[in-house]
């Protein structure tokens, strides 16, 4: 499989209704993969049918066309309903395809056949695909677009202060939440204690009332006789 990481021609020109995305695969066969893709939204959206998804570099997957990079998402949205379907559902569908692999209507016949008949060869191609995606994660943006998602290697001088600020805010929030939790716990204990005292007092009053009623009835009976 080729190691080329050139941006697909459809993603080279910024269009209205084109979103850039990056998929980080955390587990499964594609674990460790960092795959870039573009979501092409029809100009007449939401009336223009299902958005298209095109991967920037060659991605070895049964549902991705090896020549155009386009993924088959229409199988999951055969009838696009503007009041029901949303773009986030398309992105979720793309993510799911890397965890639960389908080979019913493949766009990459080779990947489909290997997955069904030769898992070892399929996994080898996937490993190469994942490795390629990792090697190009820090490549400069192939288009001049502020919306393109770019990454830089960790630089302590640049990223260190930002990292410290994030953890400082996180620690402050944790302390605040801890204080609130403690206050709520103290309040709960106080209420529980007061409720217990009230219950005991009410029980004593009921017992006293019962005794009083009993004595009163006895006295009345005696006077009547």
Query: pLDDT for 48-93, tens place per residue?
Result: 789 999 999 889 999 999 999 999 999 899 888 888 899 999 999 9
What SS3 state is found at 8?
Answer: coil
CA distances from 174 to 62, 159, 214, 218 (A): 45, 22, 59, 66
Strand partners, 133: none
Cβ atoms of residues 99 and 35 within 8 Å? no
Query: Are 67 and 53 spatial neighbours (Cβ–Cβ below 8 Å)?
Result: no
Question: What pTM was estimated for this model as a whole?
Answer: 0.66
Say if residues 30 and 126 touch (Cβ distance below 8 Å): yes
8 Å CB contact between 17 and 43: yes
Using pLDDT thresholds of 50, 70 and 90, give the confidence band for residue 34: very high
Q: Which helix H or strand E contains 3, and what residues bound it?
A: none
User: What are the tens digits of pLDDT across the range 162-205?
Assistant: 888 888 876 776 766 777 777 777 777 777 766 666 556 555 55
CA distance 102 to 31: 17
């Amino acid at each position: 499989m080729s190691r080329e990481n050139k941006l697909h021609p459809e993603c080279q020109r910024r269009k209205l209704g084109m979103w850039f995305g990056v998929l980080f695969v955390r587990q499964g066969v594609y674990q460790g993969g960092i795959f870039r893709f573009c979501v092409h939204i029809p100009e007449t959206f939401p009336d223009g049918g299902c958005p298209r998804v095109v991967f920037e570099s060659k991605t070895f997957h049964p549902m991705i066309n090896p020549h155009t990079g386009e993924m088959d998402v229409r199988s999951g949205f055969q009838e696009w309903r503007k009041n029901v379907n949303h773009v986030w559902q398309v992105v979720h569908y793309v993510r799911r395809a890397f965890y639960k692999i389908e080979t019913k209507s493949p766009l990459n016949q080779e990947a489909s056949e290997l997955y069904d008949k030769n898992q070892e060869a399929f996994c080898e191609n996937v490993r190469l695909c994942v490795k390629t995606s990792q090697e190009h994660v820090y490549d400069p943006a192939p288009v001049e677009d502020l919306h393109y998602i770019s990454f830089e290697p960790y630089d302590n001088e640049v990223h260190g202060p930002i990292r410290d600020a994030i953890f400082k805010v996180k620690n402050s929030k944790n302390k605040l939440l801890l204080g609130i939790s403690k206050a709520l716990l103290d309040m709960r204990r106080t209420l529980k204690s007061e409720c217990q005292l009230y219950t005991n007092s009410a029980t004593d009053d009921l017992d006293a009332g019962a005794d009083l009623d009993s004595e009163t009835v006895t006295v009345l009976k005696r006077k009547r006789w």
